[in-house]
Amino acid sequence: MFEVLCGDSPAAPWLAHLPFPVTALGPARTSYRYVPAAVTWLGGHVNAFDAVILHGIWSYLGYAVWRVRQIRPYFVYAHGMLDPALARVFPAKHIAKTILWKMFEHRLLHDAAAVFFTGEEELQLAASGFRPYDVRPEIVPYCVGEPPGDPERQVELFEAQFPAVRGRRVMLFLSRLHPKKGADLVLGALAALASRMEDWHLVLAGPDTGSYRSSLEKAASRFGLSGMITWTGFLSGDLKWGAFRRAEAFILPSHQENYGIAVVEAMACGTPVLISRRVNIWREAVGEGGGFAEDDTEEGTERLIMRWLSLSDVQRAEHRRMARRAFERHFAASSAADRLIEVLRGHGVKE
């Protein structure tokens, strides 16, 4: 038996067609996601389950799960919420989180049967943050499903929608346009390497954040790059998968990224990834030969691109194969499910 408990409103449209049972006790109130019925519901229903997996911290649902700890074991999926880099990005929130940590959150994680991290980098970073810190860590990868659809048709649709990419070598940046994602670093690196990239085209795909796209467009114009860039806005469905499949390489020199779903989706399509070491799955991606990782600086981004440009056709083909292998080994749904079952059994949860 499997069920999802959440703090959303029962009328939330994204819950309407999910293929599994959902109990929605919201709408949650306040930034702490206060759901007063959660403790009562768990107390009356948790005996029907073998274990509880809590996704994320810093919310009232964590307290509700902790209250039933004597009845069933629980596990916490950290989802990057313990990354010390967040203190630099959101200093005001970090003050509030430090207070919550000392009041309760450290007990939530200490009393958990295990705390799940998506990879070795996230696990190590989490241990260098809040104090006191005493958890039983386990690496349980997050996952994405197999890319759907017909690859050739998806590429055709993408090229039809964005014909400027035809006949060009394509580098894809797909993420929301936000300062922490590093799109400005890509522009600066391309400006420095423009004489070596006359046959390239950069696709910048993703929704705008505030007016950040405008500042990027001005930078591209200043660097003389406007003619080699296509701005697609948000992509989904076949157009998104067509972008991944058409790209020769995917680039994301992010300043902070716990998992990077787009990174994994690229590897699922066999597209090598050029990422910063601030993307916390860089070890798993690069260790398998699925791409390269450097510092989240303009110089580091230049090195990423230079490393790719220096490869032969045979080497690039091999990296495409290894990108797909990295996905299958670390991030495919079947691999993640096997690892989750292994960890649950190891902590005494019966099948």
Give the pLDDT score at 194: 95
Do 66 and 112 contact (CB within 8 A), yes or no?
Answer: no
The alpha-helical segments, DSSP class H, found in the chain are 37-45, 60-67, 85-89, 91-100, 106-110, 120-126, 151-161, 183-193, 212-223, 237-246, 261-268, 282-287, 298-309, 313-326, 333-346
Do 136 and 240 lie in one domain? The reply is no
Mean of pLDDT values over 85-105:
92
Do 173 and 300 lie in one domain? The reply is yes
Confidence of residue 136 (pLDDT cuts 50, 70, 90): very high
Examine residue 206 and state whether it is found in any structural domain, yes or no.
yes
Mean of pLDDT values over 179-203:
97
Confidence of residue 347 (pLDDT cuts 50, 70, 90): very high
Query: What is the total count of domains within the chain?
Result: 2
Do 136 and 176 lie in one domain? The reply is no
The tens digit of pLDDT for each residue in 3-46 reads 999 999 999 999 999 999 999 999 999 999 999 999 999 999 99
Residues 6+ apart with CB under 8 A from 126: 78, 82, 83, 115, 117, 133, 137
Mean of pLDDT values over 184-206:
98
Confidence of residue 313 (pLDDT cuts 50, 70, 90): very high
Mean of pLDDT values over 136-152:
94
Q: What is the CATH number of the domain that holds 13?
A: 3.40.50.2000
Do 165 and 128 lie in one domain? The reply is no
Confidence of residue 350 (pLDDT cuts 50, 70, 90): confident
Query: What are the structure tokens assigned to 68, written together?
Result: 């039933």
Do 78 and 16 lie in one domain? The reply is yes
| Rg (alpha carbons) of the chain, rounded to whole number | 22
SS3 202: strand
Whether the predicted pLDDT of 351 surpasses 80 = no
Give the pLDDT score at 66: 97
Strand partners, 55: 77
Confidence of residue 90 (pLDDT cuts 50, 70, 90): confident
Do 235 and 294 lie in one domain? The reply is yes
Whether the predicted pLDDT of 106 surpasses 90 = yes
Q: What is the residue range of 74's domain? A: 4-143+334-346
Mean of pLDDT values over 222-239:
97
Do 160 and 293 lie in one domain? The reply is yes
Give the pLDDT score at 143: 84
190 dihedral zone (left: phi>0; alpha: psi -120 to 50; beta): alpha
Q: Which residue has the tokens 């998104």?
A: 240
Q: What percent of the chain has pLDDT over 70?
A: 100
Confidence of residue 1 (pLDDT cuts 50, 70, 90): confident
Do 180 and 253 lie in one domain? The reply is yes
Do 102 and 222 lie in one domain? The reply is no
Give the pLDDT score at 89: 79
